[in-house]
Structure 1
Amino acid sequence: MVTGRLRVVLVKLHRYIGLSLGLLFVLLGLTGMTIAWRDELDAWLNPDLLVASAPMTAPVTPDTVQAVTERLAPPYGKPNLLMLPTHADGVFIAWYPVKGPGGVVPGRSRQVMVDPLTLEVKGERVWGEPGLSRRLLLPTLFHLHRYLLSGDTGKTITGVAGMLLLLTTLVGVAAWWPKMKLRSVVQAFRITHGGSWSRFNYSLHRAGGILAAPVLAVIAFSGWYLNLPKWVTPIVAGVMTVTPPAKHVSAPAPAGARPLEAGEIMAAAQAQYPQAQVTRIGFPRKPGDAFEIRLCQPGEVRQHTGATRLWLDAWTGAPLGVRDPQQAPAGDTLLNWQFPLHTGEAFGLPGRIFITLFGLAPLAFAVTGTLIWWKRRRGHQRHVVKSAQRAGMRA
């Protein structure tokens, strides 16, 4: 049971975190509501860029992937990453580094979109470039949500914000915790008015907070992990088995050999996972690098792009390593769930709708919490004034 003095400390800690970071929490909640539907909204705003000329009637084949990379060769060259269509109306998206006077510009990538049927280059844009045009609006909202438009510095800030949101949620639960008596428990969940708007506001914040706490904790933890995995992974690894990261290196080039093409690599990946859909192909960037393939297996919790990763030798296509979420240890499974939980994807369309609506929760708690603080502050000020008046009268 929480003692009276400890409860006061917990309430103050909960209040100060909320007052200090409330606006940031609100910003993350509102932008998260939008980017939960990023792909759909982006395609709706930019059909000329992100919607194929006609729906595909068959899955993407290695021959199509090979034709797309050959189409990109002049003038773009080999991309760092090729994202394959994941639905019938989708397009190929090739990613290239953006180079400036000082070298590669961090946080910026050129996206080139290719129609899967006509092989026409539909257009391009710079991912990471802020703007409010149709082409840049959804990428900008994404970078605002994750990076605060400030690159790695902003990513660290949002990661720390997730950690502190988790802390203030747990502190709020501890401060709320009632006596283990039926009347006290019922009262702790009750929203009352009694002719007093301040009482209604307080009970709404208190009861609504405890009902929302489990979801807030999940979103906070997943946001912390997704932005600062090097902080969270060791914590999880302390209690669960987590596969350590590994660097997968291609064998030295055989005499007279040529690197495998994208179509050949896709065929090699499909041979390893015949039932899976290839969603991304990461190309070697320097000698010794391997191809990194992303696949989506049937039944994966990450339903859109999958979380299966396969590394293949650049010269032979031989498998060098794999991260299979369906055969992962407990720690890997917990971490693999974080992204689909954060976006609601883990529970399909109902989950995404729920997460979208829940994006309003930080705003609601910021408003009710600020009103509680303001009322108590005014009450404290009146008490100070009356005490000073009484002291003056005695003098």
Structure 2
Amino acid sequence: MKKTLKTIASQLHLWLGVTSGLVVFIVAITGAILVFEEELEPLLYPSLYKVRQEEGEKRLSLDQLIHTVKARYPDHQLTRIFIEPDGHRTIITNLKRNKKDKHPLAVAINPYTGIITAEREEQSAFFPVVLQLHRYLCMGETGKVITGISCVTFLLVMLTGLLLWWPNRKNRKHRFRIKWRASFKRLNWDLHAVAGFYVLPFIFVIALTGLVWSYKWVNNLIYLTFDGMPPQKREAPINLSSGLPADSHFERIFSETNLLLPHEGKVTFTMPESDSLAITVSKSDDEAMISNVVSFLYFDKNNGSLISERLYENETKGFKARRVVFPIHTGSLLGWPTKLLALLAALVAATLPATGLLIWWGKRKKRKRNAEKLSVTGARNTTRPHVRPEMSLKKTV
């Protein structure tokens, strides 16, 4: 029974690995690149993110800065504003040509001089392209289906691989260490089985949390588990005041946000699609023990007054559980230590399809050689002359 189970596991591990191997490699490599996206982006695009703050230099009014951006791009609509707590960072705005435009233009402005330092089309930038490859294989919804199926397949591959790796009394010592000075064949097996075992818990959790973006029912399951109900649709409230929307309240809103949420963190303005809805302002809490802790405030678009708030501490358990999925998946949960673990796990995961393929190819060649030897031996037996027993007896006498 045990041998039969391992035989089934071996076949599943092989063919599921073959069918999903290429996608797993692409997703793992791109995932490894995205682990340190926040740290690498400013290095790749310094003019978009970095500015020099002279001693005693004060930031210009946010209203003045946004007015400069709008005057430079009169045919675009402002959709978002990103303000980092670091004084040596630009203020970045996202602009769209119209509501149907899915590719925003990122425009960076120096907060001390009001000079626009850089712009870029987001869909053509390095990390957004890597993200599209990671989630959709740059194939839209079709790619999303493929990565979702491959993610589920990879989970089964890991479970069957663990069953095949499971040690017994004879091979227990070899299952926990890599023999670096061994032959290439043995070293390749160790890199696949032993290294795979050590990173399996991390890869399994990363792949499992990745299902949240592939399948809506997985996302809903989180809320059903913790809240007992599916997620509620969250929208910005309607403006309380009437009149024409004004663009001269950004500084007031920013100041009040920092008063209500005094912790360090990135502030994001999200402009509503309709003029009747409020402006959504979110602020992350960089002082929290874990990442992705964010509170939301809603301000009247006409006069800049506060309408309502959604503080993180008042959110439901389901919402908090859902918020923690992203940092677990990306490795940013506890900062650099977990990011390094995620990077190492992703790199090892990227090697598994290649080392597994080499193991399969080696076994295939071995079976082929054995088959050839059997055929040669069989041919010799059939060509050997038949000697009658009585003739052999006469010669012996």
- Into which bin does the TM-score normalised by the smaller protein fall? 0.7 to 0.9
Task: State the match for 2:115 in structure 1.
Answer: 120
In the aligned structure 2, how far is the partner of 1:55 from the partner of 1:343?
Answer: 35
Within a 5 Å distance, the mapping from 1:276-315 to structure 2 comes to 277-300=265-288, 303=291, 306-315=293-302
Deviation at 1:127, TM superposition (A): 0.5
Alignment counterpart, residue 168 of structure 1, candidates 150, 154, 157:
157
SS in 1 for 2:280: strand
- Paired letter, 1:264: R
In the aligned structure 1, how far is the partner of 2:214 from the partner of 2:297?
Answer: 23
Alignment counterpart, residue 144 of structure 1, candidates 133, 136, 139:
133
- Paired letter, 1:44: L
In the aligned structure 2, how far is the partner of 1:117 from the partner of 1:42?
Answer: 22
TM-score of the two chains, using structure 1 as the length reference: 0.80
Moved more, 292-301 or 248-257: 248-257
Structure 1 residues 11 and 301, CA gap change in structure 2 (3 angstroms): farther
Post-superposition CA distance 1:210-245 (Å, at most 9, x none): 1110110122123332x3362421232343337723
Within a 5 Å distance, the mapping from 1:378-393 to structure 2 comes to 378-385=365-372
Alignment counterpart, residue 248 of structure 1, candidates 235, 248, 251:
235
In the aligned structure 1, how far is the partner of 2:225 from the partner of 2:155?
Answer: 19
Paired residues of 1:292 and 1:309 also in contact (CA < 8 A): yes
Pair 1:275-2:263 in alignment: yes
SS in 2 for 1:378: helix
In the aligned structure 1, how far is the partner of 2:282 from the partner of 2:242?
Answer: 29
SS in 1 for 2:67: helix
SS in 2 for 1:240: helix
Task: State the match for 2:220 in structure 1.
Answer: 234
Structure 1 residues 197 and 54, CA gap change in structure 2 (3 angstroms): same
In the aligned structure 2, how far is the partner of 1:57 from the partner of 1:12?
Answer: 69
Within a 5 Å distance, the mapping from 1:45-194 to structure 2 comes to 45-54=44-53, 64-76=61-73, 78-98=77-97, 104-106=100-102, 108-129=103-124, 136-178=125-167, 185-191=172-178
- Paired letter, 1:68: L
In the aligned structure 2, how far is the partner of 1:55 from the partner of 1:3?
Answer: 72
SS in 1 for 2:14: helix
Task: State the match for 1:9 in structure 2.
Answer: 8
Paired residues of 2:96 and 2:104 also in contact (CA < 8 A): yes
In the aligned structure 2, how far is the partner of 1:3 from the partner of 1:321?
Answer: 59
Deviation at 1:374, TM superposition (A): 0.8
In the aligned structure 2, how far is the partner of 1:35 from the partner of 1:194?
Answer: 33
Pair 1:262-2:262 in alignment: no
Structure 1 residues 56 and 112, CA gap change in structure 2 (3 angstroms): farther
SS in 2 for 1:347: coil
Percent identical pairs in the alignment equals 22
In the aligned structure 2, how far is the partner of 1:95 from the partner of 1:157?
Answer: 30
Paired residues of 1:294 and 1:306 also in contact (CA < 8 A): no
SS in 2 for 1:82: strand
In the aligned structure 2, how far is the partner of 1:302 from the partner of 1:310?
Answer: 21
Paired residues of 2:224 and 2:230 also in contact (CA < 8 A): no
Post-superposition CA distance 1:285-324 (Å, at most 9, x none): 1144332222122533554x75333344445644445261
Deviation at 1:55, TM superposition (A): 6.7
Task: State the match for 1:343 in structure 2.
Answer: 330
Within a 5 Å distance, the mapping from 1:208-223 to structure 2 comes to 208-223=195-210
In the aligned structure 1, how far is the partner of 2:164 from the partner of 2:120?
Answer: 49
Which runs of no fewer than 5 residues in structure 1 stay unpaired? 130-135
Pair 1:332-2:319 in alignment: yes
TM-score of the two chains, using structure 2 as the length reference: 0.80
Deviation at 1:198, TM superposition (A): 2.8
Paired residues of 2:278 and 2:301 also in contact (CA < 8 A): yes
In the aligned structure 2, how far is the partner of 1:358 from the partner of 1:237?
Answer: 28
In the aligned structure 2, how far is the partner of 1:229 from the partner of 1:216?
Answer: 19
Alignment counterpart, residue 362 of structure 2, candidates 350, 375, 388:
375
In the aligned structure 1, how far is the partner of 2:265 from the partner of 2:352?
Answer: 41
SS in 1 for 2:334: helix
Structure 1 residues 193 and 279, CA gap change in structure 2 (3 angstroms): closer
In the aligned structure 2, how far is the partner of 1:31 from the partner of 1:301?
Answer: 27
Which runs of no fewer than 5 residues in structure 2 stay unpaired? 384-397
In the aligned structure 1, how far is the partner of 2:6 from the partner of 2:346?
Answer: 28
In the aligned structure 1, how far is the partner of 2:94 from the partner of 2:334?
Answer: 29
In the aligned structure 1, how far is the partner of 2:189 from the partner of 2:276?
Answer: 61
- Paired letter, 2:137: L
Deviation at 1:255, TM superposition (A): 4.1
Structure 1 residues 88 and 236, CA gap change in structure 2 (3 angstroms): same
